[in-house]
């Protein structure tokens, strides 16, 4: 993407009422105005909140929101020029139960209060395969502990990926954790029956490319 297009999208994001761009300093200060108040102050309801972490273009967040009007959805990504597409689509189609936040995922506990989130989706994250990149894997122990802080008691996490490595790595961590529960696990959701419909009915652009190359898509649903 050219720099001019990026700048144009950044400018549009600033005007979108469904995009929030808190500064790192604002979050770390502990005074972020919407922490603990997303449903009431932003969505103007008391519906449960689902996050998509590393939402990319926002395709999953927007489609989940369209299919589930009684749930609030928030996509988070540091790359605002990417989720611009999702934010714009949501505005064009009047899907008002989805918002986007430009922030680093490592700051998620500063964005939301304890027990504020009902569900988390992590869709096709970079698996960060090399050992030195372990700290960047979105399902490493440090990140899982952050998610645990903001999830309510019945909250669950969904990991959908084309990486067999990340799938296996995550299962290994969960099996070693106290009180973690794997609700569903599948190494090839499109070739085995019984996959949750929300895992197979929504496909991202890159997921379609993977499928065209006959690459298996894995899925785990779990509690921590």
For the chain, percent of residues with pLDDT exceeding 90: 90
Both tokens of residue 212? 């065209």
Band of residue 12 on the pLDDT scale cut at 50, 70, 90: confident
Between CA 118 and CA 59 the distance in angstroms is 20
Between CA 88 and CA 25 the distance in angstroms is 27
154 close to 194: Cβ distance less than 8 angstroms? no
Give tens-digit pLDDT for 19-64. Answer: 999 999 999 999 899 999 999 999 999 999 999 999 999 999 999 9
Cβ atoms within 10 Å, residue 125 = 19
Give tens-digit pLDDT for 98-154. Answer: 999 999 999 999 999 999 999 999 999 999 999 999 999 999 999 999 999 999 999
- Read off the pTM: 0.95
Closest-CA residue to 118 (of 47, 168, 184):
47
The DSSP code sequence of 161-181 is ES-HHHHHHHHHHHHHSTT-E
Between CA 22 and CA 24 the distance in angstroms is 7
Q: Which of 70, 77, 126, 188 is catalytic?
A: 126
What kind and span of H or E run contains 13?
A: helix 3-15
Closest-CA residue to 34 (of 22, 23, 51, 47):
22
What's domain 3-223's architecture?
Answer: 3-Layer(aba) Sandwich (3.40)
| Helices 80-92, 59-67: inter-axial angle, 10-degree rounding | 30
Paired strand residues for 120: 51, 157
Both tokens of residue 26? 């604002």
Does the pLDDT of residue 1 top 70, yes or no?
no
Is 126 assigned a catalytic role? yes
């Amino acid at each position: 993407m050219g720099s001019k297009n990026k700048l144009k999208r950044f400018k549009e994001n600033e005007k979108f009422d469904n995009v929030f761009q808190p500064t790192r300093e604002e979050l770390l200060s502990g005074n972020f105005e919407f922490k603990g108040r997303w449903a009431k102050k932003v969505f103007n309801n008391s519906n449960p909140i689902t996050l998509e972490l590393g939402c990319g273009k926002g395709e999953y967040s927007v489609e989940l929101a369209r299919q589930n009007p009684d749930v609030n959805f928030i996509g988070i990504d540091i790359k605002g020029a990417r989720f611009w597409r999702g934010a714009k689509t949501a505005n064009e189609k009047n899907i008002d139960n989805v918002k986007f936040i430009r922030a680093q995922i490592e700051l998620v506990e500063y964005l939301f209060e304890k027990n504020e989130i009902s569900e988390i989706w992590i869709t096709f994250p970079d698996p960060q395969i090399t050992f030195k990149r372990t700290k960047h894997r979105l399902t490493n122990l440090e990140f899982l502990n952050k998610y645990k802080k903001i999830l309510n008691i019945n909250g669950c996490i969904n990991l959908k990926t084309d990486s067999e490595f990340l799938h296996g790595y995550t299962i290994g961590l969960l099996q070693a954790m106290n009180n973690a529960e794997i609700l569903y696990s599948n190494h090839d959701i499109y070739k085995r029956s019984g996959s949750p419909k929300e895992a197979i009915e929504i496909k991202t652009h890159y997921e379609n490319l993977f499928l065209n190359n006959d690459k298996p898509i894995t899925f785990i649903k779990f509690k921590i």
